[in-house]
Structure 1
Amino acid sequence: MTLSSCDRTTAGSFALEGSVVPRDAFVISKLREAGAILLGKASMAEWASFRGENVPNGFSARGGQTTAPYYPNLDPSASSSGSAVASAIGLAAASLGSETTGSIVLPASRNNIVGFKPTLGLVSRSGVIPISPHQDTVGPLARCVADAALLLSVIIGNDPNDACDIGLPPPQEWPDYTRALDAGALRGKRLGVPRALFQDHPVINDAFQKSLDIFRDLGAHVIDPVDFPSAHELKQSKAEDIVLTVDFKPALNKYLAELVEVPTGVRSLADVIKFNLAHPDVELPSPYYTDQSQLLASEASQIDETYYVALAENWELGRTRGIDAVLQAHQLDALILPTDSYATKPTGVSGYPIISVPLGHYPQHVQPIPLIPAPLHSSAPNMPFGIAFIGTAYSEYKLIGLAYAFEQATKARLQTRAYPSATPATQLKDVISQ
């Protein structure tokens, strides 16, 4: 999580050590106004997993290597990993993360909690260290849908410092999403299963298949399969990579220029790259963390015709011939599919909402699979996974109801526990007493 507050905001990098932000992030101000107690900041993937393609999930120079608490050395998945782990093991009632593509819902899936990436523009990004104004958003990570709905209700609102236009009219008024918490919300709803977006995860896909009977028992109509007209092109498209690579440099340079103080002298992406090269012992340590290829690619990029074509392609594949096309063609209320699939690509490029809730976990007989070269496991016994609900722009209220009804019927989170040494034993009262 990369939210500005009185604590240090560094995106996990020593390049921003000691930097001073001009103000609280907008979402932090909203939380303070609502009476929330801010305990601190979570570790994260450095520069929100945008330093280099070969840097392991959850690693940052300042924070070290985050791991999921369900198996030793388990990959925590994506950039908001520390926020997900903190919520999963009760270090906080809930947390915030940021998502460009998957960085809220994928850590939620891997860490057995609820993650909600709202519609682009519903939540301000002001004060958030950016990747792309076309995809970045802030969202809640919590142990249940009710807590995520409450947190989302607090952090939404108009912010003059983040004028985000996604080409669609925003809600006329800001809703209280806790009113969507209805255990009967699935009754009569039409849910589509976009099979072409599934990946080859037999355990996860089998659990998902079994869940379809639960949806039917709860009164939902499951239309299976339904596929995006753009499904094949979407999976093959490089347009998102182009947009994010180009967006990162001007967005980060703007953020750095507005800092009140930067003791390291870093004021641009070029400065970040130079800092890393000058401090390889902490920023590029061998053998797993030497890569800054994404920073280099972004620094070398430029806004050109290819960039504008890629922007248009993202909306075409994600919205017009993607989510909106399939919802309208089959008169669907939402799409459902495993979170660990291509679910996050259409929601990322479209700016549309996605919520992930716990679905199941890997059986004990599964052999752990180490990632190479990263010192993490990509799958392991007891590893959790989630189910995703996807809708069109500003359909958060409906999605919360659907996710809540499924969560209450299954209680899937309670089937999986963190391994003992990853479970905190110290209580807050014990710390305060000292």
Structure 2
Amino acid sequence: MGDKTRASYGLMLSEEPRRQKLWWHRLFMTLIALLLAGAVYFCVPPRAIEYPDLYEVSIAELQNGLDKGRFTSVDLVKAYLARINEVNLEGPLLRAIIETNPLALEQAANLDAERKKTGKRSILHGIPLILKDNIATLASEGMNTTAGSYALYKSIVPDDATVAAKLRRAGAILLGKANLSEWSAARGILASGWSGRGGQATNPYYPNGDPCASSSGSAIASAIGLAAGALGTETDGSIICPSSYNNIVGIKPTVGLTSRAGVIPINSHQDTVGPMTRSVADGAAILNIIAGRDGKDNYTLTAPKQIPDYMRYLDAKAIKGKRFGVPRIVFRNDTLLGNHPSVGVAFEEALKTIQSLGGVIVDPTDLPSAEEMIDNNNERLVGQVDLKTRINAYLAGLNYIPTGTDTLSKIIVYNDKHKELEEPEGYESQLAFLLAEATLGYNESYHQAVYNNHDIGRTRGIDYVLKTYSLDALVLPSNGNA
């Protein structure tokens, strides 16, 4: 080894201790910095969350809180999930919710980030909502669409229902699926609010009380703040009745104003989807988003090409000068309709309120066809034929059904074979399914019944009194049996 090489090697040896000192010094300073950062972190209090009153808060108030940073959509999702856990399967055992969205927190975080970056999409941006369990949502999200039945558990829908897709595009968070009367009360003579998957839902205001009709879970969820609002469906009273029983606002749209595509069907002539909320304003906010034409549902071709902004019409002054008819003959008999006498008292007070706002009460404005409505069999016949044909068509459109129940007849057999799931004691009835299965399709009797329904309900019913008495609206109690 030459002198130069030895000198170089000696230099390397002499530098090594210095390098080690520098390395330890840097490590020490890094640790000090980390400790100081940690001390600062733990000294800074966490962000104060000003949670709203979930019982009473409106969608507009939630949106205002989100805009001002009082809370985030993630905070809201956590709060609503905690609320569901308090009352659904614990405490009062309301059984309003069948399942929640496992991706809700992730979706909320994405919507929070989007709000900061580009602003909100609509008044529903980042707002958690509940859907009735007959409204399809993509299986990949982790929620089922079953109408409360194990026969459709883990089935795969081809797409979101149109109303669900519209809510997503508006930035709403689909927080979970609401319990319901199984198959939207179209299976048999069963208690309102019971389904095989969800159990027996009960009224939140009266222990073990009747929640009424098939959209009962949606009504309960809105009533006690399990979400900011919900979607229900109605074929015959299933939005209006549970809204009444659970003290909320239900908007039952005219058939065709909202799409039924992707909704498990019952009756193509009567099925409709509508908001169930704690206020008219919240209902209008949701209706703004879900209303409108849809190529997948030809009934929506009757909807306006341009849907009006329903929130613009939230003005009590608009009642002044409008004419309101009272068709007393259709609700006069409390025993027949199932109304409690107190409903009549409240109804009379409501009429006085309308008058105090300048509305004109025209009383009575009876429908010529009222007696026929009570005793006719047309609706039942149409409903039975539609139930079989429409459910079979829906099942045929699913991508996958693990149970193999791809027809109504197979669902009937499945229920009988799985009594522990679908026919526990007190919930055995499949009468409506059996009657529907026995129908012969779209024959002359069916078409005559459809015509009679239109004649009784529309031509000599609602349309007749609106025109004859120059009315703007009809008003009547909503508490009758569904």
Distance between the aligned counterparts of 2:461 and 2:405, measured in 1?
Answer: 40
In the TM superposition, what whole-angstrom CA distance separates every residue of 1:193-226 from its partner, at most 9, and x where no partner exists?
A: 1100114132111221222221111101101111
Q: Which runs of 5+ in 2 are unaligned?
A: 1-131, 335-339
In the TM superposition, what whole-angstrom CA distance separates every residue of 1:351-405 from its partner, at most 9, and x where no partner exists?
A: xxxxxxxxxxxxxxxxxxxxxxxxxxxxxxxxxxxxxxxxxxxxxxxxxxxxxxx
- SS of the equivalent of 1:38 reads strand
Distance between the aligned counterparts of 2:161 and 2:300, measured in 1?
Answer: 19
Distance between the aligned counterparts of 1:91 and 1:269, measured in 2?
Answer: 33
Give 1:157 deviation, angstroms: 2.2
Partner of 2:46: none
- SS of the equivalent of 1:90 reads coil
1:291 is aligned, of 426, 429, 434, to: 429
Q: Flag the structure with higher helix content.
A: 2
Contact 2:292 2:304 in 1 (8 A): no
In the TM superposition, what whole-angstrom CA distance separates every residue of 1:67-99 from its partner, at most 9, and x where no partner exists?
A: 110110110000000000000000010000110
Q: Does 1:226 align with 2:226?
A: no
In the TM superposition, what whole-angstrom CA distance separates every residue of 1:247-297 from its partner, at most 9, and x where no partner exists?
A: 0111001110111111101100001001001111111111x1010111011
Distance between the aligned counterparts of 1:245 and 1:38, measured in 2?
Answer: 32
In the alignment, residue 238 of structure 2 is paired with which amino acid?
S
Residues 5 and 190 (structure 1), Cα distance of their counterparts in 2 relative to 1, 3 Å cut: same
In the alignment, residue 310 of structure 2 is paired with which amino acid?
Y
Partner of 1:325: 464
Q: Does 1:49 align with 2:185?
A: yes
Q: Given the two structures, how large is their TM-score scaled by the length of structure 1? A: 0.77
Q: For 1:30-429, list aligned pairs within 5 A.
A: 30-52=166-188, 54-164=189-299, 169-198=302-331, 199-200=333-334, 201-286=340-425, 288-303=426-441, 304-341=443-480
Contact 2:192 2:212 in 1 (8 A): yes
Contact 1:16 1:264 in 2 (8 A): yes
Cα RMSD (Å): 1.2
Partner of 1:429: none
2:148 is aligned, of 5, 9, 12, to: 12
In the alignment, residue 316 of structure 2 is paired with which amino acid?
A
In the alignment, residue 234 of structure 2 is paired with which amino acid?
E
In the TM superposition, what whole-angstrom CA distance separates every residue of 1:212-247 from its partner, at most 9, and x where no partner exists?
A: 221111101101111001111111111111100110
Give 1:165 deviation, angstroms: 6.6
Give 1:133 deviation, angstroms: 0.9
Partner of 1:387: none
Contact 1:197 1:341 in 2 (8 A): no
Q: Which runs of 5+ in 1 are unaligned?
A: 345-434
Contact 1:21 1:259 in 2 (8 A): yes
In the alignment, residue 28 of structure 1 is paired with which amino acid?
A
In the alignment, residue 476 of structure 2 is paired with which amino acid?
L
Distance between the aligned counterparts of 1:298 and 1:315, measured in 2?
Answer: 21
In the alignment, residue 135 of structure 2 is paired with which amino acid?
L
In the alignment, residue 388 of structure 2 is paired with which amino acid?
K
Where relative contact order (Cα < 8 A, 6+ residues apart) is larger, the structure is 1
Contact 2:293 2:305 in 1 (8 A): no
The size of the alignment, in residue pairs, is 339
